[in-house]
Structure 1
Amino acid sequence: MTDNTVSNAVAVRDNGPGAMVEHYRNDLAMVMPSHVKPDTFVRLAVGVLRRDKNLALAAQNNPAALMGALMDAAQLGLTPGTEQYYLVPRKQKGRLEIQGIRGYQGEIELIYRAGAVSSVIVEVVRQADTFRYSPGRDERPEHEIDWDAEDRGELRLVYAYAVMKDGATSKVVVLNRAQVMKAKAMSQGSDSAYSPWQKHEEAMWMKTAAHRLTKWVPTSAEYMREQLRAQAEVAAEQRPAVGTSAPQAPMPAPASVEDDEDEGPIEGEVVDDEPAAREWPAAAQPGAGARQ
C-alpha cells in the first residue's frame, strides 16, 4: 500500500460520517438522559456506520438525515444500530438515506424506564400454537407452544401487557395479522429490502404490539419524577409543626394513571382492564424511537 493510498484512506475516515458524529458529540450529549454515556453512544453509532457500507453511503448522501435519526435516538436514550433503535438505509428521491426506527426492545426499555411496571410480556402466536383469551372472562391470555415442533407455522397474532409495580395489570393488547399489516403499510420504507420489516419480521410484530401498549402504561421518566415529587409533598404535609402534637392526616391513595382518551385502541384491537400476568424478566433486554 502506497503512502498516497494511506493518506486518502485517512482523509476519508476523518471527513466521513463517523467524523461528523464525533464532531456533534456534545450536541448529542445535551439531549441524552443522564443514564446514557455519550462516549459509548457515539462509539456505537460510528461503529455501525463503519460496518455497513450501505449505511455509510446513505449517511454521506444526506448527513442531516443521519444526525436527525441519532438525535432522536439520543433523546430517547436508546442505542442506535441495535434492536432498541434501528438505523436503516431507504431510498428517497432515487438515493439512499438513513431512517431511524424504534425497535421492540426500545419500546420495552421506555416502559421499564418510567419505573411504573415490574414486568412486560410481549409474545407472537404462530399457527401451530394454542391461544385462548376472552376479555372480561379470562384473567390473562393462555398461550401454549409445542417447543418440540420443527415448524410452528406462520405468524398469526401478537399480544402485549404489563404488570404494574403495585400488582395491577395493564390492558392486554392483542393484534391479528390484518392489524399488523395495516401498521406495516403505514411505516415508511417498510417494503424496502433494508427495512427491519423484511429482515426482522417477528421483532417488528412485537414492536407493533409493544408500541400499542405504550398507550396504556407510563413510558416517560417524568412519570417517576412526578411520583417522587408527590410523595415528598405528602410527607411534608404529614410532618407536624415544631411544638405541636397534631395528628398526621391519613396518606391519600396513590393516584391512578389515566388512559389518554385521544390515544385509544386501534379498530378491532382487543384490550382488557384486569387480566393477571405471567412474569417476564424485569429488565428490558438492551440491545428500534420508532415511526409507524
Structure 2
Amino acid sequence: MGTGLKARVGKYADNIRVLDPAAFDAPLAAPADKPSEPLPEKTLIEHLRGNRDMFAEVAPDGFELEAMLKEAEAALLGSDKLRKCDHLSLLGAVMSAAQLGLRIGDEFGHAWLEPIWQPHYAHTTDGKWTGHFRARLIVGYRGMIALAESHPKISTVIGVQVGAREEFKLKRGLKKDKLKHTLHTGPGTRGDAVAYYALARYTDGSTKFWHFTRAEAEEHRDKFASQRRFNEKTGEWRVVGPWKKHFDAMAIKTCIRMLAKQLPTSSALAAAIAVDGGVRVDLGKDGIHHADRPETLNSNAPSPDHEGGHGDGLAWSPECEYCVDDVDGEKHFEQHATAAPVDGCAYCEQEAAWRGLPTGSPA
C-alpha cells in the first residue's frame, strides 16, 4: 500500500463510495472540479460489507473476520484493476479467504486478491466477445503452511530456499530419505538460491519433504505458469505475474503443494489448493472446490496493461522502470497529460485503454 494510499483514495473517490470513510483515516472527498455522480450499482466495497453475514457463516471460530474485510477493502483501494472486477468473483475470492481462515495482504502473507483479465466474458449486442477483469484468490505458501499445520498429526511445516554458499545434501534411500541443510551463518549473504524444499514434521517425530533444484523449479514454471503474455515482436509467450515477480516464493509454494500429496488428508489444505488461482462465483459452501481455472477463462491472452505494449512506439508510463530513459516517450506523454486530447493518436489511444480512460479525454 505505501504512503500513497491517501492520494489514491482521493483520486478514485468517484469510483469507490466507502460507507465509513473514517475507517481509512482520510476523507474520501471528490475533487472539487469533478463532483461525484451517483453510481447505478453497488460498489464493490458495499458488496463486501453487505455480505458480511455470508462470510461469517463459513469462517472458522475465532477468525478475525472484520480485520480481513478491512484488508480486502484496502486491496481494492490499492489496485485499479481489482476495482474493475465483477462483484461475484470478488465476493467468491473473499469468501474463500474467510472459509479457509486466511488473512489478505502482505502482513500475514496468507493470501492476496488478484485481478485477472478474461477476454471471453460476455457477448455484446452484435454477438462479439467482450472482456472483463475478474478477481481470484492467490494462496501464499505461508497460508498453505498454516493450513497444513492445522492437521492433528502434523507438528510443523517449513518452506526453505537454499543459498549457493550453504551446504545442502540429499540422499534418497529405499527405507528413508535423508536431507541435510547447513545454513550460512558467516559474514555476507547466503548466495543466490540454488534449491528449494518443503519439510513436514509429524507429531511422532517422523518427517516428509519435497525438493526442487532451481532448474527444476524453472522447468515447472515454464510448463505450468498460468499468467503469460504474448510478445508480438518475438512471436513468443512469456511468463508474467507471481512467477516473474516472486520466483523464490512461488518455488517454495510449489514444493509445499507437491508435499501436500504425501501428507495426511487435510480438508482445509485440499480446499486451498483447489481454489488457489481460480475464479470462484459459486457462493455456496462447496463452491470453494469448483473454482474456474485460468485455462478455462482464456486468461493467457494479452492483458490490457502497459507492460504488454512497452516499447511499441511512444507508449510510456511514469510507473514503468524501463521507461526512465525513454525521453521522447516521456515528452509525448506529458504533452497529453496537460490538456491535449488522446483522440487521433494511436499511441495515446492505446495508453488510454490501458489506463481505463475514454478515447478523446486528456491523458
The TM tier, using the shorter chain, reads 0.5 to 0.7
Instruction: Select 2:181's aligned residue among 120, 142, 146.
Output: 142
**Superposition deviation, residue 132 in structure 1:** 0.7
Secondary structure (helix, strand or coil) at the match of 2:134 reads strand
Q: Do the aligned partners of 2:147 and 2:268 also contact (CA within 8 Å) in 1?
A: no
**Is residue 45 of structure 2 the alignment partner of residue 8 of structure 1?**
no
| C-alpha distance after superposition, 1:220-263 (max 9, x if no partner) | 3789xxxxxxxxxxxxxxxxxxxxxxxxxxxxxxxxxxxxxxxx
1:27 aligned partner: 54
Give the drift of 1:45: 1.0
Q: Please point out which of 162, 165, 176 is paired with 2:213.
A: 176
Report the CA distance between 1:107 and its aligned residue: 0.7
Q: Conserved in 2, the CA contact under 8 Å of 1:113 and 1:221?
A: no
Q: Which residue of 2 aligns with 1:103?
A: 140
- Change over 3 Å in CA distance of 1:22–1:190 after alignment to 2: farther
Aligned equivalents of 1:80, 1:164: Cα separation in 2:
28
1:159 aligned onto 2:207: no
Corresponding position: 1:209 with 2:247:
no
Q: 1:187 to 1:194 in 2, by over 3 A?
A: closer
What CA distance in whole angstroms lies between the structure 2 residues aligned with 1:140 and 1:128?
A: 17
AA in 1 matched with 2:118: Q
Determine if contact 2:136/2:277 at 8 Å carries over to the other structure.
no
Output the amino acid matched with 2:276.
Answer: A
1:90/1:194 contact within 8 Å kept: no
Identify if the C-alpha distance between structure 1 residues 195 and 222 changes in structure 2 by more than 3 Å, giving closer, same or farther: closer
| Unmatched 5+ stretches in structure 2 | 1-28, 120-130, 230-237, 270-274, 279-363
CA 1:47–1:20: 2 relative to 1, 3 Å: same
CA RMSD in angstroms comes to 3.2
Separation (CA, whole Å) in 1 of partners of 2:89 and 2:268: 28
Whether 1:197 and 2:243 are equivalent positions in the alignment is yes
Relative to structure 1, is the Cα distance of residues 2 and 201 closer, same or farther in structure 2, using a 3 angstrom cutoff?
A: closer
Alignment check: 8 A CA contact 1:111 1:219 kept: no
TM-score for both structures, normalised by structure 1: 0.64
Aligned-pair CA distance for 1:291 = 3.9
What is the letter of the counterpart of residue 34 of structure 1? D
1:42 deviates by: 1.6
Conserved in 1, the CA contact under 8 Å of 2:225 and 2:239?
A: no
TM-fit CA distance, 1:3: 9.4
Which aligned pairs between 1:205-284 and structure 2 lie closer than 5 A? Answer: 205-218=251-264, 220=266
Amino acid at match of 1:98: A
Unmatched 5+ residue regions in structure 1?
Answer: 224-288
Paired residue for 1:263?
none
Instruction: Provide the TM-score with structure 2 as the length reference.
Output: 0.52
Following the alignment from structure 2 to structure 1, what is the Cα–Cα distance between the partners of residues 36 and 268?
48
Amino acid of the structure 2 residue aligned with 1:140: L
2:91 counterpart (67, 70, 73) = 67
How many residues align structurally? 220
The share of aligned pairs that are identical, in percent, is 26
